Structure 1
Amino acid sequence: MAAGDRLILVGRIVGLHGVAGEVKLESYTEPRTRIFSYQPWMLSSPSGEREIEGCRGREQGKGIVASLPDVFDRDRAAELVGCEIKVRRSALPVPKPGEYYWTDLEGLEVVTVEGVALGRISHLLATGANDVMVVRDGERERLLPFVLDEYVKTVDFDAGRVTVDWDPEF
């Protein structure tokens, strides 16, 4: 599968709203209503996947409510609760210089400026101060701050590598 065709998790259907088939969403986009800008959606559940386009929605209180094509009643909407919402990576806008999608960083090799291999990025975490890379090498897990220039010196997608200024013993 080409990188642009890779599916990215952007949200999930978490509940029902009313009797006309609307659903409540949990969105992982920022802002959360931006989820409607990225279509078509691939709805994934244990029973299979289905692609849909033309989803519309709005903020409703603390959540988001969506209308999905061909879903006009509560019973049909109930079948979709729990589905993950994924989009093709190519549906997302190109990040600005110095900005990265976490999904693009996952799997990259991490090496120090001295060339010491620390492992690969398993995933990232959001903290109050900064994002953190979880780097695993099979034996050890390290938590490295994703702070450009201070700790992260370069991100090279062509080489599949992130270079960091980090003590390998830490």
Structure 2
Amino acid sequence: MLKKAIKKKITPTRAVLLENSQLHGLVCDGLGAVENAHLSCIDSSIRSEFGDSIDIDAAYLRGRESENRWDYILGHDRTKKLIAVEPHSAKGDQVSTVIAKRKAALRHLDNDLKPHARVNVWLWVASGNVQFADTERAKRRLDQNGIKFVGKRVTKKDIPS
């Protein structure tokens, strides 16, 4: 009797990774790569919409322990878009840190994503109380760097259509 080969489902993130990318082995189905403590940062009503996830903080840790690293890339099934999510304290002095995390992630992902593939939206989620002294200035700096601050939770409105 012949056994049927089990074919790995091609999810949004898997589809855009280069064939030789180190990230292939780190892609988890659904939100499997997201730490339990961070799952509450994603609204429960949209969690099932994500086909896969990667903890890129862990993926790019080796040799970069003292660098800023973004936390997650999530593959949204319906739209086939990549959503970067960073649960991080929301204080004014952390804006530069979050911007540095995105810049570092872009450099690292350049070696792992197919040409023309990109992260479609970069979301910063407050991991505690929001404490921006100058909210408008913080928002302007984030906008200039392609980051959207979403408050305490990623919701349906934060996912591009």
As a proportion of its length, which structure holds more helix?
A: 2
Q: TM-score, normalised by structure 1?
A: 0.25
RCO higher in structure (CA 8 A, sep ≥6): 2
* More strand per residue: 1
